[in-house]
Chains A and B, each alone.
Chain A
Amino acid sequence: MTTTFLANRPMPYCRGCGHGLVVRRLNDALVRLGLEASQVVLTSDIGCVGLLDPLFPEIHTVHTIHGRSTAVAAGAVLADRLLGDGRMKNIVAIGDGGATIGLLHLAQAALMNVDVTVLLHNNMLYGMTGGQHSALTPEGFVTATTGSGNWVPALDMELFVRSCQGPYFARKLATDNDLGDVIAEAIDFPGFALVEILELCTGFGVPLNHMKGSSLRAMVEEQGQRLGVLVRRDDRKPYHEVYRARFPVVAAPDGPEPAVTSTPLPAVAAAPAFTHGLAHPTSIVLAGSAGEHVQTAAAILCQAAVLSGLHCVQKNDYPVTVGTGFSVSEVTLDTEPILYTGVDAPDAVLIVSADGLNEVRGRGDLSRLAPDGVVLADAGLPLDSLPEQTLGLPLRATLTGDQAALGAVVALVHRTGILTPGSLLAAIDVLGLRNRDMLRGVVDSAVGLNAVESPAARSVRG
């Protein structure tokens, strides 16, 4: 059995620095647990804690970037547990500076309960860069940047870990005789474990505060913080167990993976190829309100075009709020492969709500309408304000708001003859849409919609 993992060489730390003590106690813990060198990964942060590597010549060492050590370790652990042999013991060495800049990574690892062990070397300042204060610097503590004593209270890591539902937290002094036992317990703990280890930086903390290590305990207590193993919960499973229970391994098919893998493609209805009446490349703008299935209607149009032997592209646009305001789809159909996907001069603009009208006005679609372009608009909209090519249709009066966009598509297809209504019905089947029967009903009823008379209304070509 291994008796030590430590190299026989001097510690790289300042004389009297607590880091050397932590390294020795960590070694004690690894030996006591009977771990193999190859299964241990020491992930270190930036700062003096990052000097671990030469001290453990047989153990994997991953020296990361500032604050991110916990996240890199979490990725490695989850890959190991879920996709590997699950032997990894990943121990993160981080300072109070790394904990400050990477607090979110600690929070997420604790919330998820990733099986990593974090040794937070808290000397209450940034030692390597000249002794600046951190979020873990206590009130009154003198640092290079708090010359009269820190005036902001320190983050209490116990409360932090508790609020993140972290299942294991201990606060120890580097000089504690049982530090090795606690580190071993934390490494052995099946889940997220954080051990905060208080020490003094001999380069800055000691001279600036005229303190000795022996006064650390009193300082912790003055802050109202406690020492010892303070959190140990057995009611949370580690993340990889929760994940695996939810997402079991699905056996991969034998042999090389086919180009097309597990996406279940909708079954193709026994649909014959449909005919189309497209005379030239055609761009269609379909504009309505978010949440009213504008994009679904456009997808049905596209799929119908594909079933009719046409090339097509579909682009969707919506405001950042997604669930309110406009929803616009642009569809281009062509008998040739479509190169340019922009719609500079739409051949048809379908407007099914006031939101849609506002948006096409803002975009300028109506002023860019192709010379023989058409506009189909819901009859409830102010048709007088629309171009003279506009045809009003009682979409929202006859159908529901959710059905108006598809209704407009049906009307366009029916009146121009670019596609057959049958291809729309087949497209609904091919897309495997949930409300299939309702959508098919819309196609049937919208074919029969009559144009509303209005002064500006003219008949549509075809």
Chain B
Amino acid sequence: MTLARAASPALRLRSGNQMVVEGALRAGCRFFSGYPITPASEIYREMTNRLQGRGDVALGAPDEISALSYCIGASQRGVKAMTATSGPGWALMIEAFQYALMTETPVVVTVVQRLGPSTGGATQGGQGDVLLTEFATSGGYTVPVFAPSTPVECYALAVQAFNWSEVLRTPVVLLSDKEVGMTYEALDLARLPAVEVWERPAAHPEGYRAVQFGAPEDVPPFAPVTGPLKVTLTGSAHNKDGRLRKNDPETLQVLEHLEAKVASRAGEMALVDADLQEDAEALVLSYGITSRAARAAVRLGRAQGRRLSFLGVLSLFPVPVAAIRTAAASAGRVVVAEENLTGLYRRALAGAVPDLELHGVNAVGHMVRPVDILEAL
């Protein structure tokens, strides 16, 4: 993915939020429900206008819990669905999000981060919800999380979020932030990256069970409610018939399967933007809006004759371990730049690649500046 060229008269100003909408529609989203919250409100408004304009469904919800619950119901009927929110609303959605994970219901939640904790700052950016997103489930199940840094990436990663949500039958988070979502940039709408659109696997009568899988990493074929195959869904621990059980062997298999189907595809899901140099003095690893400052820092440093590498992580989770190891292997020092106080992704990486020594560049209440990153490299 590259930034759009500016020379064509076809260029238009579009925000990251608007391009999330383009991506969701491209992916086949036909149901949106939202509750307004800055800096995600533009997605709510545009999805409403676009979906209603063609007769698809957009619902204003009385709260964020309703919004995600409506989406889950629609998805169980077989329709691709999305909601969008920011930190305070995301906190309210977490119970329903876990329900989607447990019932293997595809749904996309776009979280446009803002300054926290609590109400924080509505129009102040931040990257503070990284771990709240990834570890939103009891049990620490891997939640696929994609993080765009440009409007074009918002488009492409929105499609990816839907694709993985559908084929894995699991909820996926598109983790944007205020500076990505509410910043307008010129781009060429007629020259967006080519994308594929994937669909959830469909169930067939032969051998059908409510939760049907052989190997733990298999994805159970999907049957919609009101279809001919009997659907049994529950957020309680359950066996392959969807029946409430606590800890019999088959129920434990289901729980292990929920993790295995995502974790086993970590390699396929990995998306990074790498600009590496052999024998680099340092590698800066970043994501979301801060990866742009990181690229700017690398550009500045190279102009001063330094050897520097850049790795932008687009798929935050599952952690793209192989790509990170490759990038770090030829670099002397690894710096993780992110707009939060305590280095949230750095902490996740400390668990995923424990042998790497990671240094942090952090900021809160303002964007991480290229000069600050360069100083740390």
Q: Could you list which residues of chain A lie within 8 angstroms of chain B, going by C-beta atoms? A: 37-39, 41, 50, 53-54, 57-65, 68, 71-80, 82-85, 87-88, 104-105, 107-108, 243-244, 246-250, 252, 257, 259-263, 265, 268, 271, 273, 299, 302-303, 306-307, 309-318, 320, 337-342, 344
Smallest Cβ-Cβ distance to A303: which chain B residue:
B13
Q: Are A78 and B243 in contact (CB under 8 A)?
A: no
Smallest Cβ-Cβ distance to B38: which chain A residue:
A320
As a 0/1 sequence over residues 237 to 249 of chain B, the CB contacts with chain A under 8 angstroms (1 = contact) are 0000011100000
The answer, among B9, B11, B66, B233, for a CB contact under 8 Å with A62, is B233
Contacts A87-B226, A88-B225, A337-B3 known; A79 to B57 CB distance under 8 Å?
A: yes
Query: Which 6 A-B residue pairings sit nearest by Cβ, starting from the closest?
Result: A75-B73, A71-B69, A75-B70, A249-B55, A76-B73, A79-B74
Q: Could you list which residues of chain B lie within 8 angstroms of chain A, going by C-beta atoms? A: 2-3, 6-7, 9-13, 22, 25-26, 30-31, 33, 38, 50, 52-57, 59, 61-63, 65-66, 69-79, 81, 95-96, 99, 122-123, 179, 182-186, 189-190, 192, 194-195, 224-228, 230-236, 242-244, 289, 292-293, 295-296, 299, 366-367, 369-370
Contacts A74-B73, A268-B9 known; A342 to B367 CB distance under 8 Å?
A: yes
Contacts A63-B233, A79-B79, A83-B31 known; A314 to B13 CB distance under 8 Å?
A: yes
Q: Are B9 and A338 in contact (CB under 8 A)?
A: no
Chain A residues with Cβ below 8 Å from B95 are: 65, 68
Q: Are A64 and B235 in contact (CB under 8 A)?
A: yes
Nearest CB on B from A84, distance (A) = 6
**A-B Cβ contacts below 8 A, count:** 242
The answer, among A64, A104, A312, for a CB contact under 8 Å with B185, is A312
Given A60-B226, A340-B292, list of 13 further CB < 8 A pairs? A38-B226, A59-B230, A71-B70, A74-B73, A78-B31, A79-B74, A247-B53, A250-B55, A259-B194, A262-B53, A312-B186, A313-B184, A337-B6
Smallest Cβ-Cβ distance to A109: which chain B residue:
B66
Q: Are B183 and A315 in contact (CB under 8 A)?
A: yes
B38, B52, B56, B370 pick with most chain A CB within 10 angstroms: B56
Q: Are A63 and B9 in contact (CB under 8 A)?
A: no
* A431–B52 CA distance with the chains assembled, in angstroms: 23
The answer, among B7, B189, B230, B234, for a CB contact under 8 Å with A57, is B230
Nearest CB on A from B85, distance (A) = 15
> What are 13 contact pairs spanning A and B, CB under 8 A?
A41-B226, A57-B230, A60-B225, A60-B232, A71-B73, A72-B76, A75-B76, A79-B77, A248-B55, A259-B22, A263-B50, A273-B7, A315-B184
Smallest Cβ-Cβ distance to A73: which chain B residue:
B73
Chain A residues with Cβ below 8 Å from B38 are: 320
Q: Are B33 and A75 in contact (CB under 8 A)?
A: yes
Nearest CB on A from B152, distance (A) = 11
The answer, among B99, B243, B289, for a CB contact under 8 Å with A53, is B243
Nearest CB on B from A110, distance (A) = 11
The answer, among A84, A257, A342, for a CB contact under 8 Å with B26, is A257
Q: Are B235 and A65 in contact (CB under 8 A)?
A: yes
Chain B residues with Cβ below 8 Å from A53 are: 232, 234, 242-244
* A427–B198 CA distance with the chains assembled, in angstroms: 38
Contacts A77-B73, A260-B192 known; A313 to B183 CB distance under 8 Å?
A: yes
Chain B residues with Cβ below 8 Å from A313 are: 183-185
The answer, among A57, A74, A248, for a CB contact under 8 Å with B70, is A74
Smallest Cβ-Cβ distance to B233: which chain A residue:
A62
Chain A residues with Cβ below 8 Å from B6 are: 306, 309-312, 337
The answer, among B69, B183, B225, for a CB contact under 8 Å with A314, is B183
Nearest CB on B from A11, distance (A) = 15
Smallest Cβ-Cβ distance to A330: which chain B residue:
B183
Nearest CB on A from B187, distance (A) = 10
Chain B residues with Cβ below 8 Å from A262 are: 50, 53-54
Contacts A60-B230, A63-B236, A252-B54 known; A299 to B9 CB distance under 8 Å?
A: no
Chain A residues with Cβ below 8 Å from B122 are: 320
* A249–B30 CA distance with the chains assembled, in angstroms: 12
Nearest CB on B from A412, distance (A) = 19
Chain A residues with Cβ below 8 Å from B192 are: 259-260
* A87–B225 CA distance with the chains assembled, in angstroms: 10
Chain B residues with Cβ below 8 Å from A65 are: 95-96, 99, 235
